[in-house]
């Protein structure tokens, strides 16, 4: 596309149906924040809600809040709020623990759902914790990891051996911003008799997700990136309804028990995704997430995706001649809400990111040579993207 | 002891070296809170610290806070603050996840440390999540659970078969308030070649703990009861230094990696207890816990224990003739900071607890017949205990 002028960008902002959301976030003065793919911005309503859970629910009402403030059911209530963002039914999602722990639980459960097979396929270059957790699980249960190069051709070759129990993939790659074909890859895995676990950390809140329509088996994801749940906010777990009756995760704590307040000595799994809960979760962290998910309930995901593509298109077109190599696929069906650019002189790229930060444009750098810019459509304007691109061009020129 | 009058209690309060701590907590007007063994009270300094992590560290400083606000090291920094409360070295404790998940990790690690044995011993009546997690682990790794009646005689009989890898016990029983002989039981287990995991949920912050001196192998515990970290606050894990080089937990996430920011594809365990970390933890929840642990750093645990025993003694003496059966051992070396009383007509006990709550005395009821009263020495006065006991006596009389 032809690069737009700043005036043209300003005009697009006036026509943006999501423009009003920007006012619902606290953003530091003079900063263009392109790191919402790492830590999402703070909703303005969050501090008051957090103060309420601390001062009223905890401080004043104390233990009574387990029932009166809905604390016990919060992992399910938050899951129900995430469900529409990922194309799931409300009872298929629960919130709690970290993405790493939830991947651990779902991977063990998925292996048990496919007991005649012992191979877990992952892709090199996936976010390290996915690879590490897979290593931990296969060592624990006596399975085997088969790691392939990213992409459907190598994946299909790995599946074709007929011994693959589970495939673990990221929906959007954290490093390159590549979006995978969730429907196609899931179908491919199923054709070869494998189950699929999708890591949604870099896609949830960045684009529409259709776990149900894609017949996904399990999914995990975090809420502190595009979902604005706060630093280290609790993660979520999706378990497709068809697995509810038989899927068994291994961290069988009392929050996943069918009748926890009977204090019986034998574990009986709760129904639905609730069985995937284990122990107590911070209700303060949960309150912060509750606020952002209420905000998210008003977002049209189609509008979100359209704006995300427009912003990333805009950025790519404005930095096209800057001397960096585009890593993120331009094809819309392969693009997340992020633009990754490779610097010809790897380590110098880190200095570029620092120099941009000094000019108020916050992106990040990932070893060995990638500049990473995330585009959160709820609080970024076209003019912000224009300013960020110009800053990048100028920094590269002055660092040249 | 002879029951004290309210005036004598008031005099004891004026002489109480811990009396000043009460002013550091928010307590609802007109309430005597005897449920701090379930959810500890709110420190007055917490709301401001939580507002700071939300508004400044998250809202204003955003991702930079991972380094500038010490977010990345928070699980170790909080662990170092818990260490002196449990008699551990700073690098032996980390904070994160739930007690259930931490028990899962330590139990798998302990079984791997004792690879020629496959039996895990637990006690019936232990807090259900400990039993449930043990069930989950033995099923997962092909070990066996052997559950015995509480107490050293049955435990020794179970150990004497010579095949026990690990013993999982609670330091203070959640139901009865019984305190175990940590040194003696740990020694007993070691003599029979077993390792020990102690659950400290009902003892940490209630009395001094000497994990190092007792040569404990692993321990887990929560921070939302006597430690006042907030509802669902993160739990902690203790790993004795002698196990650091070889102990391996199974949820191998990137927060437990030796060099996480290299984003390498192979998991390399971090040194010390840090290897027991897995994924991201709420930094908002962590900030709340940080406040309470700073308060706890000023507490003399000897004074704490002395006051705890005085308060429970006082309560027991005042309700001695009320028609309930004392469940908690009177012997000091066997008593936690809680008093459990059995009601002769089980279900009626629940109504008694409700009637007390209407009079502003908050305790709780545990099936089938136990009235449970926790005594948090930092914010309870002798006069509070007197008032609570009188309320119990009156309620029992009117319900008679």
Q: Which of A49, A180, A372, A381 is catalytic?
A: A372
pLDDT at residue B12, as a whole number = 97
Query: Does pLDDT of A3 surpass 90?
Result: no
As for the ipTM of the complex, it is 0.98
Bridge-partner residues for B122, per DSSP? B147, B168
Provide the token pair at A296: 């998210």
Q: Tell me whether residue A211 is in a domain.
A: yes
Return the ∠ at Cα A213 (arms to A207 and A215), rounded to 5°.
110
Question: B291 and B214 in one domain?
Answer: yes
The answer, yes or no, to whether the previous bond of A368 is cis (omega within 30 of 0) is yes
Residue A224 annotated in active site: yes
Choose one of A277, A296, A315: the last residue of a domain: A296
Give chain A positions within 8 Å (CB) of B62.
28, 33, 35, 39, 41, 362
Q: Tell me whether residue A35 is in a domain.
A: no
pLDDT at residue B1, as a whole number = 67
Q: Which of B224, B365, B373, B375 is catalytic?
A: B224
Q: Which of A63, A100, A252 sits opposite B38 (nearest CB)?
A: A63
CATH of the domain at A240: 3.40.640.10
Question: B290 and B384 in one domain?
Answer: no
Question: B334 and B273 in one domain?
Answer: no
pLDDT at residue B329, as a whole number = 97
Query: Does pLDDT of A89 surpass 90?
Result: yes
Residue B150 CA to residue A262 CA, distance in Å, equals 19
Q: Tell me whether residue B39 is in a domain.
A: no
In angstroms, what is the C-alpha Rg of chain A? 22
pLDDT digits (tens, 9 = 90+) for A319-375: 999 999 999 999 999 999 999 999 999 889 999 999 999 999 999 998 889 999 999
Query: Which of B227, B249, B255, B276 shows the shortest CA–CA distance to B81?
Result: B227
Q: Which of A13, A112, A118, A127 is catalytic?
A: A127
Domain range holding A19? Answer: 6-30+300-399
Q: Tell me whether residue A36 is in a domain.
A: no
Give chain A positions within 8 Å (CB) of B286.
232
Query: Which of B227, B230, B221 shows the shortest CA–CA distance to B288?
Result: B230
- How does DSSP assign A291-303, residue by residue? HHHHHHTT--HHH
List phi, psi (to 5°) of B170.
Answer: -95, 135
Q: Which of A47, A58, A283 sits opposite B42 (nearest CB)?
A: A58
For B221, other C-beta atoms within 10 Å of its C-beta total: 29
Question: B158 and B66 in one domain?
Answer: yes
Contact A285 B282 (CB under 8 A): yes
Q: Give the count of domains, chain A.
A: 2
Question: B290 and B304 in one domain?
Answer: no
Return the ∠ at Cα A43 (arms to A39 and A49), rounded to 5°.
115
Query: Which of B121, B130, B133, B86 shows the shortest CA–CA distance to B196?
Result: B121
Question: A310 and A268 in one domain?
Answer: no
Question: A393 and A247 in one domain?
Answer: no
Q: In whole angstroms, how far apart are CA B242 and each of A331, B170, B215, B250, B272?
A: 54, 22, 10, 19, 10
pLDDT at residue A367, as a whole number = 85
Q: Tell me whether residue B36 is in a domain.
A: no
pLDDT at residue A1, as a whole number = 67
Q: Tell me whether residue B1 is in a domain.
A: no
CATH of the domain at A383: 3.90.1150.10
Question: A289 and A338 in one domain?
Answer: no
Q: Tell me whether residue B197 is in a domain.
A: yes
Residue B201 CA to residue B181 CA, distance in Å, equals 16
Choose one of A296, A327, A349: the last residue of a domain: A296
Q: How many CB pairs under 8 A join A and B?
A: 272
How confident is chain B (400 residues) per 10-residue block, as mean pLDDT? 90 98 97 97 98 98 96 98 98 98 98 98 96 98 97 96 98 97 98 98 98 98 98 98 98 97 94 97 98 98 98 97 96 98 92 96 93 98 98 90
Question: B326 and B292 in one domain?
Answer: no
Residue A200 CA to residue A322 CA, distance in Å, equals 31
Q: In whole angstroms, how far apart are CA A280 and each of A73, A75, A277, B167, B211?
A: 11, 10, 9, 23, 24
Query: Which of B68, B64, B255 shows the shortest CA–CA distance to A364?
Result: B64
A193: left (phi over 0), alpha (psi -120 to 50) or beta: left
DSSP-H helix ranges across B43-167: 46-51, 65-68, 74-86, 99-113, 128-141, 152-159
pLDDT digits (tens, 9 = 90+) for A22-79: 999 999 999 999 999 999 999 999 999 999 999 999 999 999 999 999 999 999 999 9
pLDDT at residue B112, as a whole number = 98
The position carrying tokens 């069918």 is: A258
pLDDT digits (tens, 9 = 90+) for A134-192: 999 999 999 999 999 999 999 999 999 999 999 999 999 999 999 999 999 999 999 99
Residue B122 CA to residue B117 CA, distance in Å, equals 15
Contact A101 B101 (CB under 8 A): yes
Question: B352 and B222 in one domain?
Answer: no
Question: A313 and A280 in one domain?
Answer: no
Question: B81 and B219 in one domain?
Answer: yes
pLDDT digits (tens, 9 = 90+) for B159-206: 999 999 999 999 999 999 999 999 999 999 999 999 999 999 999 999
Choose one of B263, B280, B296: the last residue of a domain: B296
pLDDT at residue B3, as a whole number = 81
Let me know: does A237 contact A93? Beta carbons within 8 Å. Answer: yes
Q: Tell me whether residue B42 is in a domain.
A: no
Residue B136 CA to residue B152 CA, distance in Å, equals 25
């Amino acid at each position: 596309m032809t690069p737009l002028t700043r005036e043209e960008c300003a005009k697009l902002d006036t026509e943006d149906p999501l423009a009003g959301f920007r006012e619902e976030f606290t953003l530091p003065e003079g900063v263009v924040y392109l790191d919402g793919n790492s830590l999402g911005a703070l909703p303005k309503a969050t501090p008051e809600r957090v103060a309420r859970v601390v001062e009223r629910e905890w401080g004043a009402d104390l233990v009574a809040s387990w029932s009166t403030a809905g604390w016990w059911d919060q992992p399910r209530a938050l899951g129900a709020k995430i469900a529409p963002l990922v194309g799931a039914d409300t009872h298929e999602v629960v919130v709690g623990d970290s993405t790493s722990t939830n991947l651990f639980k779902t991977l063990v459960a998925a292996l048990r759902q496919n007991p005649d097979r012992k191979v877990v396929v992952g892709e090199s270059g996936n976010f390290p914790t996915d690879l590490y957790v897979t290593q931990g699980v296969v060592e624990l249960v006596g399975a085997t990891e088969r790691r392939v190069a990213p992409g459907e051709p190598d994946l299909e070759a790995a599946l074709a051996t007929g011994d693959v129990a589970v495939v673990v993939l990221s929906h959007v790659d954290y490093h390159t911003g590549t979006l995978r074909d969730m429907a196609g890859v899931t179908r491919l895995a199923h054709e070869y008799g494998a189950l699929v676990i999708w890591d949604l950390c870099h896609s949830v809140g960045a684009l529409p997700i259709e776990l149900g329509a894609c017949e996904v088996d399990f999914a995990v994801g975090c809420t502190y990136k595009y979902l604005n749940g706060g630093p280290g906010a609790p993660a979520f777990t999706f378990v497709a309804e068809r697995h509810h009756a038989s899927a068994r995760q291994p961290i069988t704590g009392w929050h996943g028990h069918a009748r926890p307040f009977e204090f019986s000595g034998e574990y009986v799994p709760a129904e639905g995704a609730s069985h995937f809960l284990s122990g107590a979760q911070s209700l303060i962290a949960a309150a912060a997430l509750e606020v952002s998910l209420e905000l998210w309930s008003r977002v049209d995901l189609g509008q979100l995706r359209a704006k995300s593509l427009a912003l990333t298109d805009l950025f790519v077109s404005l930095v096209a001649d800057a001397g960096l190599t585009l890593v993120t696929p331009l094809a819309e069906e392969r693009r997340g809400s992020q633009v990754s650019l490779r610097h010809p002189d790897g380590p110098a790229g880190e200095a570029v990111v620092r120099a941009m930060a000094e000019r108020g444009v916050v992106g990040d750098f990932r070893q060995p040579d990638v500049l990473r810019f995330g585009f959160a459509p709820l609080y970024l304007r076209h003019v912000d993207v224009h300013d960020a691109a110009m800053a990048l061009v100028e920094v590269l020129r002055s660092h040249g």
